Amino acid sequence: MAVQQRIRLHTTDDGVRIAWAASGSGPPLVKAPNYLTHLEHDWDSPVWSHWLRALSSSRTLLRYDPRGCGMSDLDVDDFTLDTWVADLEAVVDAAGLDSFPLLGISAGAPIAISYAARHPERVTKLVLYGGYARGRSHRDGPDAQREADVLLGLMAAGWGQDNPAFRRVFTTLFMPGGSPEQIDWFDELQRLTVPPENAVRFEQGFFDIDVRAAAEQVQAPALVLHAREDAMCPFEGGYELAALLPRSEFVPLPGRNHILLEHEPAWPRFLAAVRGFLDQPAVDDDTDPRAGRVRELTPRQREVLDLIAQGRSNDEIADELVLSPTTVRNHITRIFRTLDLRDRAQAIVVARDAGLGR
């Protein structure tokens, strides 16, 4: 039987109506809000429908449009992290949920982290894709602020126009590998879901986010996934996020798209990793203490360790990562030194305790 969604409305304490939806059946999975959503429009879209149906296939997926966007009230003026977290609190209470895993995509990741830090008793696990701990206003280097100013200027100038030229910049950043149909749909989604003035306020609010301190307080196990060539939220930001979270595992994915599309190789890898993580029992106290130090490795070293845990040989690792065998051996030497490992067998045990090798 085809999965259906059930849309409801909830009014927050400050009088804002939030549209939320539940789909599927089974244990809950709550999705924190991200930019540019529309509960009804997304359901049959060529960009989001595979996400929604896959995540609803064995769980009850709860998601909602943030204030100022989609089917929620558009006439609002509060676009801050504290308000977004308060709306998440209101929606899960309206749904009657006590504890649940929490999914954060893109800007939903810092919202999910902030909620998890404030409510450790309610969040059982975190799944974070394409996210970051700090927005553009807090990133290092002058280019970050310059890029932020340019993006905000483009939004203010052309978001609401019929001509999609200005919005096409954002579409290209979100999914450079999209088909013509997907690109046209995402252009239209931007125009339909967020008024121009809200688009600027949303983006400025996301740029101002900094949850580095909150991430260090999160108690729940976290799965962090990120596309290596993501142009919207850089790969380094995802790795930083994983390094900040005390109980995290990091899964690099191939590709350039900020929104994973159904046809690309990263999509089944994403689903397998998420389903395995959500279905696995809690880690017991027998975990090798060196597993926690895997966060000290560089992203490339974690990729090498992940492939070691899968039983790959040095030559196979070199082929997979397009490296020379000498470079692979050098990475392995540094991994063993950092984690105080004697041999490959120890490396596999520690890697699997850290959630690698799936």
216-229: average pLDDT:
94
How far is the C-alpha of 224 from the C-alpha of 222, rounded, in Å? 6
Residue 32 has a pLDDT of: 98
Same-domain pairing of 37 and 134: yes
36-53: average pLDDT:
93
DSSP annotation of 296: G
Whether 270 is in a domain gets the answer yes
Q: Answer for the pair 104, 40: CB distance below 8 angstroms, yes or no.
A: no
Domain end, chosen from 279, 298, 325, is at: 279
Question: For the residues of 202-236, what is the DSSP string, one character each?
Answer: HHHHHHT-B-HHHHTT--S-EEEEEETT-SSS-HH
What pLDDT, in 10s, does the model give residues 63-119?
999 999 999 999 998 999 999 999 999 999 999 999 999 999 999 999 999 999 999
Same-domain pairing of 304 and 339: yes
Residue 287 has a pLDDT of: 64
Residue 115 has a pLDDT of: 98
Domain end, chosen from 279, 305, 332, is at: 279
Whether 358 is in a domain gets the answer no
Question: Phi/psi at 133 (nearest 5 deg)?
Answer: -95, -25
Whether 92 is in a domain gets the answer yes
Same-domain pairing of 214 and 320: no
Whether 284 is in a domain gets the answer no
Residue 338: pLDDT above 50? yes
Same-domain pairing of 179 and 324: no
Residue 283: pLDDT above 60? no
Q: Give the number of other Cβ atoms within 10 Å of residue 144's Cβ.
A: 17
- Residue bearing tokens 């580095």: 212
CA geometry: angle at 281 spanning 278 and 284, to 5°? 135
Residue 200: pLDDT above 70? yes
What pLDDT, in 10s, does the model give residues 244-255?
998 899 999 999
Same-domain pairing of 310 and 201: no
308-334: average pLDDT:
93
Same-domain pairing of 158 and 303: no
Same-domain pairing of 322 and 205: no
224-252: average pLDDT:
93
Average pLDDT, rounded, for the chain: 90
How far is the C-alpha of 274 from the C-alpha of 103, rounded, in Å? 10
Domain end, chosen from 279, 308, 329, is at: 279
Same-domain pairing of 77 and 140: yes
205-228: average pLDDT:
94
Same-domain pairing of 164 and 296: no
CATH number for the domain spanning 318: value is 1.10.10.10
Whether 200 is in a domain gets the answer yes
* Structure tokens that stand for 27 in this block: 């244990």
Residue 1: pLDDT above 60? no
Residue 290 has a pLDDT of: 81
Same-domain pairing of 227 and 293: no
How far is the C-alpha of 109 from the C-alpha of 112, rounded, in Å? 5
199-214: average pLDDT:
92
Reported for 311-319, long-range contacts at CB under 8 A and 24+ positions apart, including other chains, are 311/348
Same-domain pairing of 44 and 168: yes
Q: Answer for the pair 218, 126: CB distance below 8 angstroms, yes or no.
A: yes
Confidence tier at 232 by pLDDT (50, 70, 90) = confident
Judge if pTM exceeds 0.85.
Answer: no
Confidence tier at 36 by pLDDT (50, 70, 90) = confident
Between 132 and 232, the more confident residue is: 132
Nearest to 40 by CA among 11, 10, 63: 63
The continuous run of DSSP H or E covering 252 comes out as: strand 248-253
Mean pLDDT lowest among 275-289, 306-320, 342-356:
275-289
* Structure tokens that stand for 243 in this block: 């390094």
CATH number for the domain spanning 43: value is 3.40.50.1820
Number of domains in the chain: 2
- Give the domain range for residue 309: 289-353
The continuous run of DSSP H or E covering 150 comes out as: helix 142-158
Q: Residues, the chain, total?
A: 358
Whether 307 is in a domain gets the answer yes
Same-domain pairing of 57 and 172: yes
Confidence tier at 284 by pLDDT (50, 70, 90) = very low
Q: Which residues pair with 86 in a beta bridge?
A: none
Whether 174 is in a domain gets the answer yes
Between 197 and 287, the more confident residue is: 197
Residue 48: pLDDT above 50? yes
Residue 141: pLDDT above 80? no
Half-sphere exposure of 179 (CA within 13 A, CB side): 9
